[in-house]
Amino acid sequence: MRYQPILAALLLTIPAHCLTAEPASVPEGIELKVSLGTKDGKYSITPNDLTFERGKYYKLVIHNPSSEDHYFTSDAFATHVFTRKVEVTDGSGKTIAEVHGAVNDLELKPGATVAWYFYPMTKGEKLHLFCHKEGHEAKGMTGSISIVGPPPFSN
């Protein structure tokens, strides 16, 4: 009992933001969906021409509906965005992992879905997007990503 005031004093020294989870007001992000391959085995990235606006917050949901592994690869894109996290979900849509840090290559197993949360930071025109699995780019798994708009934090 005599330690209670000490404990209370200690708790008061902890900044409030350390005690609470992320506020519910964190935006979900502008959602875009991309498919790597198709159910019937076509080698495509759909849509394959993506455009993002600087300073906005995005949730890019990448899904592989096919029966083989595919990559979402764009070395240039990684240097143009700030990645907040990549969420990996299980079959029921429950998050089973979060990956933090710069991302430039994702491999998705058949049926897998990930959500990439990021802020586009610097302008980019037709940044190369492809699947680097052998032969897949030549078969059609290619695309481009553009980042447009005024610089973030400019007004």
Q: Least separation, in Å, of the C-beta of 78 and Cu ion? A: 18
Of the pair 115, 141, the CB lying nearest Cu ion is at 141
CA distance 155 to 141: 38
Q: Out of 63, 136, 143, 145, name the contact with Cu ion by CB under 5 A.
A: 136
Q: Least separation, in Å, of the C-beta of 56 and Cu ion? A: 28
CA distance 150 to 146: 13
Q: Out of 62, 114, 131, 147, name the contact with Cu ion by CB under 5 A.
A: 131
- Are 66 and 37 a contacting pair, CB within 8 Å? yes
Q: Contact letters (x/-) for Cu ion, 102-121, by CB under 5 A? A: --------------------
- Rounded to the nearest 10 degrees, how much is the dihedral formed by the CA atoms of 67, 70, 72, 75? 180
CA distance 84 to 58: 10
**Residues paired with 51 in a beta bridge:** 146
Q: Contact letters (x/-) for Cu ion, 53-82, by CB under 5 A? A: -----------------x------------
- Are 131 and 105 a contacting pair, CB within 8 Å? no
Q: Out of 141, 144, 145, 147, name the contact with Cu ion by CB under 5 A.
A: 141
Binding segment for Cu ion (CB under 5 A), chosen from 2-10, 19-27, 75-83, 141-149, is 141-149
